[in-house]
């Protein structure tokens, strides 16, 4: 054995959710790798990508929390964004080259009127510079090769769209939207509605489902903190499930649930009258047992927490 070989640093079995404030210029995967290294965690994953151009909330899952990351992929997102009117770019954001420049003749009233047009359910054509695949290849690969492929419009929902600041040609707005929404496409479409075109110059995600930036931490802060302080930034696994109704099981039901057995809702004291999915706890010690579907009078285990079994 080579005497200079460094011993492997042991990795930690860590369960929880880190609300990371991702910096500008770093990919979601790079941010995940850095956080995983800081925590010496064995298992970690993120809950959906945030472009390098974007900053803000990136929930990272460790250990058992990775089982529930899909639930945040489905969640609504909230962003604060700034678009620059008058210039369209190849990518729809500031990383692309200018395609067209037009005069900006609209005023704040016109911007309010344009935003009203985009609230609710809208059809949106995904951008060429995206990770969506066609024939097994991401669209951005076609775009980089100078090719444009046909894309079908997809329905997305804009739950809220509000003007924050107007300092023409820059317009800053807040949007809460359903999964699959491209904010830079929204900016481009609003620019076209205003007759001058637009591209995105800044994007900050402030909310994912019920999670917000309020309790988020930066990579720099984590790197400088003592181990105990770092661990204090971790949210419990069920932070990902706060929008699900809670069900609490007695000792016998807890044992059967952890064995994957289906339970009668009529036997559970706090079973909801109607609910698609619920988070399930042990009544005795408040442990999270997992997630289940409550349907047709039955509580059916969907995903279990290993440490609860």
Asked about 51 being catalytic, the answer comes back as yes
Domains 16-74+211-237 and 77-208 are alike in CATH topology: yes
Determine how many CB atoms are found less than 10 A away from the CB of residue 87: 21
For the chain, give the percent of residues with pLDDT over 70.
Answer: 94
Which among 15, 21, 51, 238 is annotated as catalytic? Answer: 51
* pLDDT, tens digit (0-9, with 9 covering 90-100), for 65-98: 998 888 787 889 999 999 999 999 998 999 889 9
77-208 topology per CATH: Pseudouridine synthase (3.30.2350)
Q: What is the largest CA-CA distance in the chain?
A: 74
Q: How far is CA 63 from the centre of its chain?
A: 18
Q: How confident is the model at residue 153 (pLDDT cuts 50, 70, 90)?
A: confident
* pLDDT, tens digit (0-9, with 9 covering 90-100), for 103-125: 999 999 999 999 999 999 999 98
pTM over 0.75: yes
What's the pLDDT score for residue 309? 45
Q: So what CATH class is 244-308?
A: mainly beta
What's the pLDDT score for residue 74? 83
- Is residue 211 reached through a cis peptide bond, with omega within 30 degrees of 0 on the bond before it? no
Identify the CATH number of the domain defined by range 16-74+211-237.
Answer: 3.30.2350.10
Domain borders along the chain are 16-74+211-237, 77-208, 244-308
Q: Which residues contact 255 (CB under 8 A, 6 or more apart)?
A: none
Q: How confident is the model at residue 308 (pLDDT cuts 50, 70, 90)?
A: very low
Higher pLDDT, residue 203 or 134 = 203
> End-to-end alpha-carbon separation of the chain, Å?
41
Axis-axis angle for helices 183-193, 108-117 (nearest 10): 120
What's the pLDDT score for residue 112? 97
- The C-alpha angle 231, 232, 233, rounded to 5 degrees, equals 90
Q: What is the mean pLDDT of the chain?
A: 89
The span from the CA of 223 to the CA of 48, in Å, is 23
Q: Over 90: is that where the pLDDT of 61 sits? A: yes
The span from the CA of 173 to the CA of 115, in Å, is 9
What's the pLDDT score for residue 178? 95
């Amino acid at each position: 054995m080579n005497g200079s070989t460094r011993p492997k640093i042991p990795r930690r079995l860590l369960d929880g959710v880190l609300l990371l404030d991702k910096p500008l210029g770093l990919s979601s995967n790079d941010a995940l790798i850095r956080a995983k290294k800081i925590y010496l965690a064995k298992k970690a994953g993120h809950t959906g990508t945030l472009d390098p151009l974007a900053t803000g909330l990136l929930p990272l899952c460790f250990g058992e929390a990775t089982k529930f990351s899909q639930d945040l992929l489905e969640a609504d997102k909230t962003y604060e964004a700034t678009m620059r009117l008058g210039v369209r770019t190849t990518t729809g954001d500031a990383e692309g080259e200018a395609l067209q420049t037009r005069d900006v003749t609209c005023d704040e009233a016109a911007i309010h009127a344009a935003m009203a047009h985009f609230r609710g359910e809208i059809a949106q054509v995904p951008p060429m510079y995206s990770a969506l695949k066609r024939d097994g290849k991401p669209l951005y690969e076609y775009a980089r090769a100078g090719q444009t492929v046909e894309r079908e419009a997809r329905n997305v929902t804009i739950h809220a769209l509000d003007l924050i600041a107007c300092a023409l040609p820059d317009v800053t707005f807040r949007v809460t939207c359903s999964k699959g929404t491209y904010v830079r496409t929204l900016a481009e479409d609003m620019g076209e509605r205003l007759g001058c075109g637009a591209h995105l110059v800044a994007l900050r995600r402030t909310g994912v489902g019920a999670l917000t930036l309020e309790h988020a931490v930066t990579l720099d802060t984590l790197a400088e903190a003592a181990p105990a302080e770092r661990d204090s930034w971790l949210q419990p696994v069920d932070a990902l499930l706060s929008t699900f109704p809670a069900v609490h099981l007695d000792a016998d039901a807890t044992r059967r649930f952890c064995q994957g057995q289906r339970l009668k809702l009529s036997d559970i004291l706090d079973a909801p009258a109607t609910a698609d999915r619920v988070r399930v706890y042990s009544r005795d010690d408040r442990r999270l047992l997992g997630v289940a579907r409550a349907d047709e009078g039955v509580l059916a285990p969907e995903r279990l927490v290993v440490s609860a079994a």
